[in-house]
Amino acid sequence: MRTNRAGDLRAEHIGSEVALCGWVHTRRDHGGVIFIDLRDVAGLVQVVLDPGVLPLAEELRSEFCIRVEGEVKARKEGTVNPKLGTGEVEVGAGSVEILSRSETPPFQLDEYHETDEQLRLKYRYLDLRRDSMQRNLKLRHELISAIRRFFDGEGFYEIETPMLTRATPEGARDYLVPSRVHPGRFYALPQSPQLFKQLLMVAGFDRYYQIVRCFRDEDLRADRQPDFTQLDMEMSFVDQEDVLEVTERMFKSVWKEVMGVELADFPRIPYSESMERYGSDKPDIRYGLELTDLDEVFAATEARVFRSVLDDGGAIKAITVPGQGGLPRKQLDAIVDDAKALGAGGLVWVTLSSEGLRSPMDKFFSDAERKGLVETAAASEGDLVLIVADKRKNVVYKVLGGLRTRLAERFGHVPAYEPENPDYWKFAWIVDFPWFDWNEDEARWDPIHHPFTGVVEDTAPFLETDPEKVISKSYDITLNGWELASGSIRIHDRDMQSRVFKALGISDEEANEKFGFLLDAFKFGAPPHGGIAPGIDRIVALAAGETNIREVIAFPKTQTAFDPLTGAPSTVDEAQLKILHLRSTAPSPDQES
């Protein structure tokens, strides 16, 4: 049907007769001559048609699917288009055939108009014709392909695990699938293949990976979809260092192959340092705006707010924003509102100008405190210092960590997308996570990672005494402020596992009920093992310079987990429910009030 792809034509093809198939991208009708930009998966080429010879050319419209035969010709001097890869040539059409007409598209498929996302998703098959989506999905394919090549070269097997599996009571909300043959019972779609990959280790497949769909019924974000793709990986007979080494080498290999960039070694940042410096466990280290600690400066303060925070064992921290000391009051108030929205009781701003220090709190500061504040916060004339104090240290981190990314965006600290620049890619390992997190609502210790996460030996005695001091063998990868991957060395020792369950307040019976099949497996010679699971959607989005993962997913869902293309989720027939032994308690649309 065709001899070449339109976007592939180059000067070397001049003189050859070609047949091309594709879509009418744009039409420029000059009366006596008509230019068509013909688009296919490889790109655009200009086709020149003489309507006197080919009257059908008059009928061509946007997005008609057509076939053209003709000769590749050199463009005359002065008519070369440097913006196109095919810009040195054009195709003189000898014949044209309309394969399929098109209605006028509901939106324009150019890169000059941002289109409402709901409309894009409803007509996703048209949206995907756009250049940026074609590029993103191509990049996604190339990245996944390079990942598979890497693991293949390292002796990993790709092994599939079930989609219909058992509900897990902890973690994210499950998507459930009712069983027809087992009335009243449900499968769950996997939140991750976590337990299966551990069983594969017990089974002796000591290097496993899988590009796998996972499902979590939680609210959506720019970097979260209800179904998403993970690069799931697990290894036996390894310690943390081995997993970090192979994972880092994988990213370097993939980036070199696909992005053409040699990545620097990933820095390793202990969790506690990350929180102290950035107020986040997924810091964007492409810019400064680091947190400074003002506890010392105000150690003897008389200012009541700070005094009570320090007396309660809290923290006073600040961010210095260079050059923003002249911000109008209204915008300072907006930052205070942002801080409150993030959970702060308040925020104290301090501006430094030639007239000195200005702040709503200034009258409560001593001269020594003013001096100490300026020095410790490394502020100079023209700067803005934002101070958050709270008796709960994690609130201070959360507020300043949240403000830091907002301020960086607003005041232009975030570097522009520059994929060919190795310095643009700020990967980092976050290591030495605490094992436990105090759950205020339930008044118990919860795992930060998951219940099978290994314990750093030196800190194991704290399991029974001070859970907050237990450090886990878990690790994250962050890239430019996004969490890309989480992983851990797992517990393979039954005694250690029951000590951990005990610390979590999970009884033996409960553990057996929930995870019995895994614990049983560990009775039969479980190897030491560990792994990691990077998120493919996030990797691709960052690589493509996108700020949300919908741009790298062919058919994503909206923020309410709705698919405007298919209309999913939909209602189903009573008969269908009956077979599944289900009855809906949802109010019918006309009953709602």
Partner RNA sequence: GCCCCAGUGGAGCAGCUAGGAGUGCUCAUCUCCCUGUCAAGGAGAAGGUCGCCGGUUCAAAUCCGGUCUGGGGCGCCA
Choosing from 17, 97, 158, 219, the residue that interacts with RNA (CB under 7 A) is: 219
Tell me if 398 contacts RNA by CB under 7 A: yes
Tell me if 221 contacts RNA by CB under 7 A: yes
Tell me the one-letter amino acid at 551.
E
Q: Which helix (H) or strand (E) holds 402?
A: helix 393-410
**Which positions from 242 through 261 interact with RNA, judged by CB under 7 A?**
none
Choosing from 77, 83, 412, 585, the residue that interacts with RNA (CB under 7 A) is: 83
Tell me if 76 contacts RNA by CB under 7 A: yes
Mutual orientation of helices 393-410 and 329-341 as an angle, nearest 10°? 130
**Which positions from 426 through 455 interact with RNA, judged by CB under 7 A?**
446-451
Residue (338 or 369) nearer to RNA, CB: 338
Choosing from 104, 354, 570, 588, the residue that interacts with RNA (CB under 7 A) is: 104
Binding mask 323-362 for RNA (x = CB under 7 A): ------------------xxx-------------------
**Which positions from 6 through 45 interact with RNA, judged by CB under 7 A?**
26-33, 35, 37
DSSP states of 129-188 as a string?
A: TSHHHHHHHHHHHHHHHHHHHHHHHTTPEE----SSB---SSSSPPPEEE-SSSTT-EEE
Choosing from 171, 372, 382, 415, the residue that interacts with RNA (CB under 7 A) is: 171
Shortest distance in whole angstroms from residue 251 CB to RNA: 21
Residue (62 or 132) nearer to RNA, CB: 62
* Strand partners of residue 388: 317
Tell me if 224 contacts RNA by CB under 7 A: yes
User: Interacting stretch for RNA, rule CB under 7 A, among 151-159, 237-245, 312-320, 557-565?
Assistant: 557-565
Tell me if 81 contacts RNA by CB under 7 A: yes
Tell me if 167 contacts RNA by CB under 7 A: no
**Distance, CA of 44 to chain centre:** 31
Tell me the one-letter amino acid at 158.
E
Give the strand pairing for 176-178 and 268-270: unpaired
Residue (161 or 301) nearer to RNA, CB: 161
Tell me if 286 contacts RNA by CB under 7 A: no
Smallest CA-to-CA distance from 62 within 128, 132, 126 is with: 126
| C-alpha distances in Å from residue 551, one per residue of 80, 326, 416, 424, 558 | 32, 38, 18, 20, 12
Tell me if 559 contacts RNA by CB under 7 A: yes
Tell me if 52 contacts RNA by CB under 7 A: yes
Give yes or no for a contact between 188 and 226, defined as CB atoms under 8 angstroms apart: no
User: Interacting stretch for RNA, rule CB under 7 A, among 165-173, 347-355, 384-392, 491-499?
Assistant: 165-173
Choosing from 560, 585, 588, 591, the residue that interacts with RNA (CB under 7 A) is: 560
HSE (side-chain half, CA atoms, 13 Å) at 448 = 25
State the chain's maximal CA–CA distance in angstroms.
Answer: 92
Choosing from 2, 8, 62, 528, the residue that interacts with RNA (CB under 7 A) is: 62
Tell me if 218 contacts RNA by CB under 7 A: yes
Residue (173 or 391) nearer to RNA, CB: 173
Tell me if 382 contacts RNA by CB under 7 A: no
d(CA 495, CA 497) in angstroms, rounded, equals 5
Give yes or no for a contact between 39 and 22, defined as CB atoms under 8 angstroms apart: yes
> Could you say which DSSP state residue 453 is in?
B
Tell me if 550 contacts RNA by CB under 7 A: yes
Residue (172 or 261) nearer to RNA, CB: 172
Size (the chain), residues: 593
HSE (side-chain half, CA atoms, 13 Å) at 447 = 21
Give yes or no for a contact between 267 and 428, defined as CB atoms under 8 angstroms apart: yes
Residue (165 or 295) nearer to RNA, CB: 165
CB count within 10 Å of CB 35 equals 14
Residue (62 or 459) nearer to RNA, CB: 62
Q: How many residues bind RNA (CB under 7 A)?
A: 73
Tell me if 172 contacts RNA by CB under 7 A: yes
Shortest distance in whole angstroms from residue 27 CB to RNA: 7
**Which positions from 183 through 212 interact with RNA, judged by CB under 7 A?**
191-192, 194
What six digits make up the tokens of 357? 């220090």
Choosing from 14, 42, 56, 84, the residue that interacts with RNA (CB under 7 A) is: 84
| C-alpha distances in Å from residue 155, one per residue of 123, 151, 528 | 42, 6, 18
